[in-house]
């Protein structure tokens, strides 16, 4: 099925201004302007994030939509793909963010706008637990791009979680997938515009 609607979900402390989000937005505008593109600034609350995403995409046709998610956005993208049965691309996806983000409870700043502050509340950890999905119901819908050099998340954990789908395992690299432009054609091929 051809993708006509694409959702991009950024990671923790990130934004639509991340290098990957901007590169993806530029590609969509230049190569696929007919595709509905949504890359919102996500609120700190996981529940509020999924409520916002669910409302924004409620009228999107599941068979023609896809989601791309980076880091925490990859965890969210998995939830969206499991709910909607759509294609997903996960970029160094968080596997257990409830565990990993527990140490970030408190005041935080955004990477791309350090003057922007938000508070990551203890209750958000439980909200993340509530969003955890079981085994992938349609693994063929998934492509995970995983860098072995990720300095934030364990590539082995990501690989174990998504190995039933398609995996592009990168030697070296980093959490940001700084060479994302080199992998864009693989991502676009999976999204099937």
C-alpha–C-alpha distance, residues 22 and 17, integer Å: 6
C-alpha–C-alpha distance, residues 83 and 24, integer Å: 23
pTM of the full predicted structure?
0.97
Render pLDDT for 42-58 as a digit per residue (tens, 0 to 9). 999 999 999 999 999 99
Instruction: Note whether 178 and 147 are within 8 A (CB).
Output: no
- One digit per residue, the tens of pLDDT, for the chain of length 193 reads 899 999 999 999 999 999 999 999 999 999 999 999 999 999 999 999 999 999 999 999 999 999 999 999 999 999 999 999 999 999 999 999 999 999 999 999 888 888 888 999 999 999 999 999 999 999 999 999 999 999 999 999 999 999 999 999 999 999 999 999 999 999 999 999 9
CA torsion through residues 174, 179, 180, 183, sign: negative
Instruction: Please give the pLDDT value at position 116.
Output: 84
CATH numbers and ranges of domains, the chain: 5-191 (3.40.50.1820)
């Amino acid at each position: 099925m051809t993708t006509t609607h694409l959702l991009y979900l950024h990671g923790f402390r990130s934004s639509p201004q991340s290098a990957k989000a901007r590169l993806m937005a530029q590609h969509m505008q230049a190569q696929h302007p007919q595709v509905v593109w949504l890359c919102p600034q996500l609120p700190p609350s996981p529940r509020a994030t999924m409520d916002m995403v669910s409302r924004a995409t409620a009228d999107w046709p599941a068979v023609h939509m896809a989601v791309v998610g980076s880091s925490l956005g990859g965890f969210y993208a998995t939830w969206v793909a499991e709910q909607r049965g759509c294609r997903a691309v996960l970029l160094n996806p968080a596997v257990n963010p409830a565990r990993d983000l527990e140490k970030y409870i408190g005041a935080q700043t955004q990477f791309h706008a350090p003057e922007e502050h938000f508070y990551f509340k203890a209750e958000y950890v439980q909200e993340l637990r509530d969003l955890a999905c079981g085994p992938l119901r349609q693994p063929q819908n998934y492509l995970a791009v995983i860098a072995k050099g990720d300095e934030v998340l364990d590539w082995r954990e990501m690989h174990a979680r998504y190995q039933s789908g398609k995996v592009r395992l990168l030697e070296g690299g980093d959490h940001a997938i700084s060479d994302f432009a080199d992998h864009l054609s693989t991502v676009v091929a999976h999204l099937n515009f």
